[in-house]
């Protein structure tokens, strides 16, 4: 019986493992007969099996996605999350942080000054815990998200409710956003500089 799946990105793949509990009347041979041919299987030896596998995933560069500005995320994305709160045990969005960049150097090995019109990418950590079915609410808003860990837990529940389910998921991810200098303000600043 499946009890847990844990997946994390590793290079160009997701690296996953599943933990299984031996049920009455089954043995390791039964498990191996049903295991997928790509799995690596280890037994803990009397009562559990752990299967590991890799899944190829497409990776998109940030510039290929129409990222929102921080103000747009505060207005629309956070409002969408607020509407979902009753269906999630945890739904937390951290404050934005600039993506670390390696500053280019000039011929004298001094850091180049950042161009005034250069956009800045930001990331905000997102943590989610909920019944698996609640993720259907999050999917329409996931275009700007990148997941760093996905966990599924199978825990029997006598009486399911909105927040209690035998299939529980935990996600850790990142919301990406872009902070672009206002072109209108930049044009005015240039005009003021020329007038001065």
pLDDT in tens, 64-96: 778 889 899 999 999 999 999 999 999 999 998
Q: How confident is the model at residue 193 (pLDDT cuts 50, 70, 90)?
A: very low
How many angstroms separate the CA atoms of 87 and 90, rounded? Answer: 9
Mean per-residue pLDDT, 142-153 = 91
Percent of the chain at pLDDT exceeding 90: 57
The per-residue pLDDT for 189 is 41
Is 184's pLDDT higher than 60? no
> Is the CB of residue 165 less than 8 Å from the CB of residue 132?
yes
Give the dihedral sign, CA 82/87/92/93.
negative
Percent of the chain at pLDDT exceeding 70: 92
Burial of 128 (0-12, 13-18, 19+ CB in 10 A): buried
């Amino acid at each position: 019986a499946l009890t847990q799946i844990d997946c994390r990105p590793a290079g160009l793949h997701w690296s996953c493992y599943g933990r299984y509990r031996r049920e009455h009347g089954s043995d390791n041979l039964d498990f191996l007969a049903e295991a997928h041919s790509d799995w690596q299987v280890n037994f803990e030896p009397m009562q559990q099996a752990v299967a590991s596998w890799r899944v190829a995933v497409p990776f998109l560069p940030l510039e290929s996605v129409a990222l929102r500005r921080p103000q747009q995320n505060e207005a629309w994305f956070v409002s969408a999350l607020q509407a979902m709160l009753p269906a999630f045990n945890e739904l937390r969005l951290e404050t934005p942080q600039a993506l670390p960049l390696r500053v280019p150097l000039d011929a004298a090995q001094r850091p180049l000054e950042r161009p005034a019109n250069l956009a800045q990418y930001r990331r905000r950590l997102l943590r989610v815990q909920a019944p698996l079915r609640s993720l259907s609410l999050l999917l329409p808003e996931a275009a700007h998200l990148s997941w760093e860990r996905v966990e599924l837990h199978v825990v029997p529940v006598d009486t399911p409710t909105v927040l209690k389910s035998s299939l529980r998921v935990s996600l850790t991810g990142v919301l990406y956003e872009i902070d672009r200098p206002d072109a209108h303000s930049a044009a005015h600043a240039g005009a003021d500089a020329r007038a001065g």
